[in-house]
């Protein structure tokens, strides 16, 4: 899961970033609306965690802009406001969920997973190719012979390929989806993850094919 956290309090954001890192997720953090908009222009995120009161404006204005541009990325509002009317207003302008500060990180993680389930819909609970099925929200791969529990980066990489079989992805495209902008990613790092995914698919009829100059794609044996 690739997460954009828009939160001006470093003391609040730091443990949140550490939590997602431990869970194996890729994160970007910004303290301002302007930087959040810049991130959204160059990267695609699975979910946005958005504070309301920010140094350069109201988080609700960013939410309105996102929805006006038909960007359907799920947004969870992190707010200190507990009034029902405030929460209704947030949902009405396009928030997928809200969570009241202070909150337990495990609750936030559960809310993120619930929002993604609703967002992706029933058809995305299972992605199939050849004799192999990927369950993104459950985090495992079924090759027909066995069920394999996946690490987060392996899951994300397989999800890229299973969503677009027979389509080539360059190393740069893969790096953009798997890692945050602040992380240093070498070609060798991508090759390591491709190698891991190939091993996971060894008992299936699907394989990762390399084409020099084009990249990698999921195809059949």
Find out whether 169 and 215 touch, Cβ atoms under 8 Å. Answer: yes
The alpha helices in 23-104, defined as continuous H runs, are 33-42, 59-68, 84-92
**For the chain, which domains are there?**
2-120 (3.40.50.2300), 124-220 (1.10.10.10)
Tell if the pTM clears 0.75, that is, is over it: no
**What confidence score (pLDDT) does residue 123 get?**
47
d(CA 216, CA 170): 6
Question: Mean pLDDT for each consecutive 10-residue tract of the chain (221 residues)?
Answer: 92 91 85 94 91 94 93 91 83 93 88 83 73 87 88 89 92 86 84 95 94 94 84
Residue with tokens 């602040």: 182
């Amino acid at each position: 899961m690739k997460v954009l956290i828009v939160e001006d309090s470093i003391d609040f954001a730091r443990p949140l970033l550490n939590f997602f890192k431990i869970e194996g997720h890729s994160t970007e953090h910004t303290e301002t609306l302007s930087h959040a908009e810049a991130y959204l222009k160059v990267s695609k995120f699975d979910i946005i965690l958005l504070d309301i009161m920010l140094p350069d404006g109201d988080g609700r204005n960013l939410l309105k802009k996102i929805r006006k541009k038909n960007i359907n990325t799920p947004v969870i509002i992190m707010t200190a406001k507990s009034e029902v009317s405030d929460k209704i207003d947030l949902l009405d302008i396009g928030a997928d969920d809200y969570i009241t500060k202070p909150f337990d990180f495990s609750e936030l993680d559960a809310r993120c997973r619930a929002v993604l389930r609703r967002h992706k819909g029933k058809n995305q609970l299972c992605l199939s190719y050849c004799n192999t099925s990927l369950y993104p929200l459950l985090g495992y791969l079924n090759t027909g012979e066995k069920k394999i529990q996946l690490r987060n980066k392996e899951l994300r990489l397989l999800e890229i390929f299973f969503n677009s079989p027979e389509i080539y992805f360059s190393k740069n495209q893969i790096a953009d989806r798997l890692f945050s902008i602040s992380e240093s990613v070498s070609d060798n790092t991508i090759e390591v993850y491709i190698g891991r995914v190939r091993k996971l698919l060894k008992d299936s009829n699907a394989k990762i094919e390399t084409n020099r100059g084009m990249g990698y794609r999921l195809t059949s044996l």
